A = this chain, B = another copy of it.
């Protein structure tokens, strides 16, 4: 794997670990819960993706760097929050906004990583399959986290999540298959698309229609 992709994955891991850890702190789980939910959010999507493509054991189980980075991130987050409890509580809304930004970054990065894994598999020419893997990689960890916290998975309520992944993933797939743009540039474009859609959806509270209002 090239260095650029590895760097992206580490940034995505830290982003998702922060997002998972902040939700755990908000839900008042203890120290272990913060570590666990940070790790699950960060590597859960990749584990499901690896099981789907038959890559066993999944990368997260044999290459410790992802889990260790997630745990270290959660550990530092926990220390910061605990040593500044008053401040943390006071700024919780701002923290939630920051959390959302990290989440959107992780979402973009893991979508691209998932589509790449799909392209390297046997069915790489199958757009449908690659998009699936992108979405699963990006939202799988958050879904497990929400199920563990007895939340209705965010993806059912903040629907623009999966839609953002689909747009960014399709952009990545088409540009790599059809254009001659350098792969790293395509990654950055696609990640930006996911990030932008998520940020706009949050800011303008985009909502999809319901069948029965």
Contacts and interface: CB of A to CB of B under 8 A. Distances in A.
Count identical subunits in the complex. 3
A89 B210 CA distance: 13
Contacts of A126: 62
A34 B208 CA distance: 11
B156 A33 contact: yes
Given A29-B210, A208-B31, A53 B57 contact: yes
Task: Say whether chain A's binding surface is mostly helix, strand, loop, or mixed.
Answer: helix
Interface residues of A, number: 56
A57 B123 contact: yes
A1 interface: no
10 contacts: A30-B208, A30-B210, A32-B159, A32-B163, A37-B156, A52-B56, A57-B121, A61-B133, A82-B210, A82-B211
